[in-house]
Each structure stands twice: as C-alpha cells, then as structure tokens.
Amino acid sequence: MVRSSHLSSPIFSRFLTAFLLASALIPVLHAQEKPYFVTYSHDLEEPGNLEIETKTALGRPADSHHYGALATELEYGVTGWWTSELYLDGQTTGQESTLFTGFRLENRFRPLMREHWINPVLYIEYENITGADKNMLEVVGHDGQGDLAEPNDDTREEHEHEAELKLILSSNVRDWNISENFIAEKNLGHEPWEFGYALGIARPLRTLGSGKPCIFCLEKFTGGAEMYGGLGDVASLTLADTSHYIAPIIGWQLPKGRFSFSTGFGLNSNSLDRVYRIGWASELPQIGSWFRRNGGTR
C-alpha cells in the first residue's frame, strides 16, 4: 500500500526535477496522439515506443485553497493493438502540503484490427490512490468540488483501490477526430459502481504539410474541445448532484514533444468554476531495440 506520508514534498520535487531534466536531454520524437486531457481516442502508442507525458491540473474549490495536481504518465506500445501505461500522481495544495497520491496501471486494447467508421477500444485500469488525489483524470459518480476542498490531512489517510473500465469509441472523419468514452469505476472496498462520460472533438488547424521544418505554422496546432462529467452510480443513475465540464483545448507539436493546454469551465454549482490543464508529452522511439542493441554489444 502506498503511504503518502512517506513521500514528503522535497523528495517529490527532486524526483520531478530530475525526471524533467532527463526528459529534456534524451532524443525524442513527436507524440502523435490527440491533445485531450480526459478523453481517449483510438490512437495507441506505436509498438516499441515509450511516451512520457505530464498532465497538470490547476484549480480552486469554493472556500478552499488553490491546488496543483501532477500526473506523470509512462505509456508503452506493447503491440500495434495493445498499449500499457503507468501513472504516478501527486498534488500540492496552498497552505497545506505536497503529497504523492498514488499510482494507476492501465491497459488499452483494440479488438478490431482494421480502421472502421467507429473504432472501439477496451480500457481496463487499476488505481491505488489516496483520497487526496486531485488530478481529475476522470469524473465519475457524484464527484464534485466538495471532494477537492477537503483538507489533505484528512484525505491522505483514505486509500482507494479502484478498478475502472472504459469503452472508447472513436472516429476519424474528414480530418476531425470524434471520441466518446463511457466510464464505469468500482471502488473495490464494497462501494457501488460509478459512471461517467467524456466526449472529445479535435482537428489540425491546417491539414496540408508545408514541407518546411517550422514551429509556429498552423499544421503544428490542433484545436478542439472536450466535455466530461459524472452520471451517478448504480443506485442512482442520474445527473443530479454530479459535476460537468466543457473545455476548449489546443495542442502544439514542437520539435521535442507536444504541448497542450485547456481551460475547463464548470457547468453547474457542483463543479469547479474553472480548471486549467497543461500537458507535455515526449516520445522515446523504439526503446526495446535500445536494450537489445546494448545487450548485443557487450
């Protein structure tokens, strides 16, 4: 079991600094996935590649302190139809503390090998996180800003072992990506199934390649929006007492990776007024062959 109290803030920040420095120095490729923060499309990681991505969420619940939550994601393409990921989560809350809040293991599978009008992906995740987790990588059940306002000293002691299933449906139509995710999450501690949804739409701002290396040209930018929220639980499948967000997003392909940003607007009183999200993703190509090559030259 992960004990958040064992990981104090200096250790976490040192780890983060070292990690970001290493990421900046390693040769990287462009990550090709959509700039969504919550929604998944049917893009999987290319086989043998490792993508390192950070997703930061910044918000402030009503009558509480500002917080920043960081999820660091390691995503590996096992095969063309199977991608596996490890998330490490943390957060810092103003006038409270900085915590490591747990980890998530997830796998995504494409059951159909061909591209179709709608492409299904099956998603299965195990989460071992504390109640202090504020990353909002999904919104389910009756999640709301009240959960985010509770003091870290109380929520860090709540350990949640959860299984999460998603049905991802995604289409690429005339250079638009349209994705729908249906989420079912179960706290393994005898709590009911909770449900949620995420919808996303995105398109490159220019579809024709210019043929010149550039940073600020329109083909490097992707615009879109996502919407996500809770749908209650198995006892009350409802929109009442749930939270919902709509968030315009922008993605920017840079020589060393992909930057993305969104501002999420809460759609009801149970939601945060605004949640800002910042993402950075870099892809390390064919890391499996690095190990094989190094092993072979010894």
Partner 1 sequence: MNPQLRRTVGLTCAFIAAVLLCAAASSRWDRVPAKDHARTNPLAAHPESISAGALIYKEHCEQCHKSDATGDGHKKPSLRTDRIKSATDGDLEWFLRQGDLAHGMPSWSSLPQAQRWQLVTFLRSIQ
DSSP states of 207-254: -S--SS--SSSGGGEEEEEEEEEEEEETTEESSTT--EEEEEEEEEEE
* Min separation Cβ 41 and partner 1, Å: 8
By beta-carbon proximity to partner 1, the closer residue of 15 and 221 is 221
User: From CA 178, how far away is CA 169, in angstroms rounded?
Assistant: 8
Asked if 279 contacts 54 with a C-beta cutoff of 8 angstroms, the reply is yes
User: Please, what is the minimum distance in Å from the beta carbon of residue 212 to partner 1?
Assistant: 8
Asked whether the CA dihedral 110, 103, 225, 234 is positive or negative, the reply is positive
Report the Cα 13 to chain-centroid distance in Å.
Answer: 20
Q: How far is the CB of 3 from partner 1 (least distance, A)?
A: 40
Nearer to partner 1, 55 or 258 (CB): 258
**Largest Cα–Cα separation, the chain:** 63
Q: For residues 2 and 29, which CB has a smaller minimum distance to partner 1 in the complex?
A: 29
Closest CA to 273 of 64, 40, 133: 64
Q: How far is the CB of 78 from partner 1 (least distance, A)?
A: 10
- Cβ nearer to partner 1, comparing 6 with 212: 212
Distance in angstroms (rounded) separating the CA atoms of residues 189 and 26: 41
3-class DSSP state of 196: strand
- Choose between 29 and 74: whose C-beta lies nearer to partner 1: 29
Residues 144, 271 contacting (CB under 8 angstroms): yes
Least distance to partner 1, CB of residue 56, Å: 24
Bridge-based pairing of strands 67-79 and 98-109 is unpaired
Question: What is the number of alpha carbons within 13 Å of residue 211 lying toward its C-beta?
Answer: 0
Give me the count of residues in the chain. 298
Cβ–Cβ under 8 Å, residues 142 and 230: yes
Q: Are 102 and 2 in contact (CB under 8 A)?
A: yes
CB of 135 to partner 1, least distance (A): 25
In angstroms, what is the minimal distance from the CB of 204 to partner 1?
6
**Smallest separation, CB 251 to partner 1 (Å):** 12
| Residue (110 or 244) nearer to partner 1, CB | 110
- If the CB atoms of residues 83 and 93 are measured against partner 1, the closer one turns out to be 83
Of 1 and 113, nearer to partner 1 (C-beta) is 113
Q: How many CA atoms lie within 13 A of 132 on its CB side?
A: 27
Name the site residues for partner 1 (rule: CB under 8 A): 29-30, 32-34, 41, 43-44, 46-49, 77, 79-81, 110, 113-115, 172, 174-175, 177, 204, 207-213, 285-286
